[in-house]
A and B are shown apart, each in its own frame.
Chain A
Amino acid sequence: MAKKGVEAAPSILKRILAFIADLLVINLVVLYPFRRLIENLIPSGPLSDSYNYLMAHPGIVSAIYSIMIMVAILAVLYFSLMEYHLGQTVGKIIFNLRVVPLKNKLGYWQCLLRTLFAIPFFPFYILWIADPAFALFNKDQQRLMEWVSKTKTVQSYELTGWKQ
C-alpha cells in the first residue's frame, strides 16, 4: 500500500503537550545539576517564610537569579540545537510535530529567535503571554516568535492507501 505524508497546523493541545514533554526533559537534563545548589540556598518551610528569608538575604536572591540565567541559556540551547539539527525537540518527536521555515532552509538564527521566550529578562518575559496569545489570532497558529523568525510548527500526517 502506498504511503504519503502531508503537513498541517497541529492542534493547540498537541503543542502544549509537546511543550510539557520538553519541560520535563529540561528538568531532567539541564536543571538536575543545579538542584542541589538551589536547595541549599532556599530554606524549606511555608512559602511566606521562604519569601521573608529571601528578602532578608539579597545575596542569595542574586545567586538564585544567576542560576536562573544559566538554566535559561541551556534551555535556549536545547530548543535551538534540536530544532536546527532535527527540526524537532523531544516533545515534538513524541507528538509528531516539526518546525519548518516559511522560505528556504531552516537557519540557526531562526531557531534561536524562536526560543527567546525562555530568557528571564525584561523584555523577554513579556513573551510568556504575548508569544502563545499571538497563535490564537494567527491563521497558521504561529507563535509571535515563530512569525518573527519566519517559521512555523506543523504536524505530519501519514495518508495510507493514497495513489498518485
Chain B
Amino acid sequence: MKNKWWVVIVILAILLAASFILAGIASLFMPDSIKGEGNVAVIPIKGFISMDSSGSSFGIASASAKEVVEYIQDAASDPGIKAIIFEINSPGGSTVAPEEISKAIRKANKTTVAVITEVGASSAYWIASATDRIFASRMSLTGSIGTIISYLEFEGFMEDHNITYRRLVSGKYKDLGSPFKEMTSEEERIMQDKIIQLRDIFIEEVAKNRGMEIEDIPTEAEIYLGTEALELGLIDELGGIEEAKEYIEEKLGITAELAEYRRKSFFGILTEASNERNFFIGKGIGSAMLEAEQTQGIMIR
C-alpha cells in the first residue's frame, strides 16, 4: 500500500515538472502583447516614432506606430479595460505614424489620457492632442508643432577629395534632396512647400483634436515648458501618472489599476538585455549611425 502511494507521488511529480516545462516553452511562443492586470491600459510611446521599428537600438528607444496601434486595438476590444493612458516621452518622429496612432485613439471609444513625462514634442504632441485630456509636468517640454527636412550635404567634401557625383535621372527632380549635390533654389522651394503643407495639416489636426481655432495654434514650431503649454491651452493640466489616474477615477467612478502594455516575452527580455549591453559597447558608433539614418526623410520633430 505504501509502495502504491510512492508510485502516485512519483508520477504526479513527473507530470507537474513536465507541466512547468511545457508552460515555460509555451510562454515563449505566446502573443507578445501580454498585459499586466488592471483596468486602465498604460501604453508607452518613447523615443523616435516611426511606422515599423520599435524597442531600443544601441540604447536609444524608439516607438513603432504599428505596435502602438495594435496595443490600442487590444485595449479597446478588452471589456476589462476602461481607459487608456499614453505615457509619452518622445521628441517626435515620422509624418505618417502620428496620424495612424491618432486615428486608432479616436476609434478606441474609451477614455484616453496622455501623460507627457520629459518630452512630448512635435508628432508626439500630435498623438497627445488626440486624447481626451493631456497632463504634463511643469518642466516637460512640449509643442514644437512643425515639420523638418534636414540632411548633410557632401558636395564640398566630395569636391575637395576629387569625387564626382555622376547624375543619371529620368526627370529633373528625381534626385531632389540628394546629399551629393548642392540643392538648387527651385528644389529648395519645392521642399519648403512640402514642409509648409505638412505643417498646415499638423496644425489643422491639432486644432481639431483640441477644439481650438487654427489661429490659436503656434506656427513657429517653438517648444514650451509645461506651464507655458498650459497657458496656451496646449495641455489641460499639470501632473503625471497619478493625476491622470485620479482624473480617470473621478470621470468613470472606478478604482483605477494600471495594466502596462509592453512586450514581455522571454525573447523580448533577452533582446532588451542584449541591447543595453550593446549600448555600452558601441554607444558612439551606434548613436552616429542612428543620427545619420534619422536625418533622412521628412520628420515631424
Contacts and interface: CB of A to CB of B under 8 A. Distances in A.
Given A37-B27, A52-B77, A53-B78, A30 B19 contact: yes
B29 interface: yes
Contacts, number: 88
Contact of B79 (A40, A49, A81): A49
B288 interface: no
A68 B78 CA distance: 22
A63 B79 contact: no
Contacts of A53: 77-79
B30 A30 contact: no
Greatest chain A CB density within 10 A among B7, B22, B31 is at B22
Interface stretch (B8-16, B189-197, B201-209): B8-16
A57 B22 CA distance: 23
Interface in A1-39: 25, 29-34, 36-37
Nearest to B12: A29
A82 B8 contact: yes
A115 to B, nearest CB: 13
Contact of B29 (A50, A66, A77, A88): A66
Nearest to A35: B23
Nearest to A34: B23
B19 A34 contact: yes
A86 interface: yes
A45 B82 CA distance: 11
Given A45-B80, A85-B7, A88-B4, 14 more contacts: A32-B19, A34-B22, A37-B26, A43-B79, A44-B79, A45-B78, A52-B79, A53-B77, A63-B29, A66-B29, A74-B22, A77-B18, A78-B12, A86-B8
13 contacts: A29-B12, A29-B16, A33-B22, A34-B19, A40-B30, A56-B77, A57-B74, A59-B31, A63-B26, A63-B30, A66-B29, A82-B8, A90-B12
B183 interface: no
A138 B74 CA distance: 51
Nearest to A67: B26
Interface residues of A, number: 37
A43 B222 CA distance: 43
Interface in A46-67: 46, 49-50, 52-53, 56-57, 59-60, 63, 66-67
A130 interface: no
A43 B73 CA distance: 14
A85 B78 contact: no
B263 interface: no
Interface residues of B, number: 26
A36 B26 CA distance: 12
Given A86-B4, A90-B8, A37 B30 contact: yes
Interface of B: 4, 7-8, 11-12, 15-16, 18-20, 22-23, 26-27, 29-31, 34-35, 73-74, 77-81
> Interface of chain A, helix or strand or loop or mixed?
helix
A78 B74 CA distance: 37
Given A25-B12, A41-B31, A78-B11, A34 B26 contact: yes
Nearest to A56: B77
A90 B23 CA distance: 24
Contact of B80 (A44, A52, A56): A44
A43 B12 CA distance: 30
A43 B18 CA distance: 27
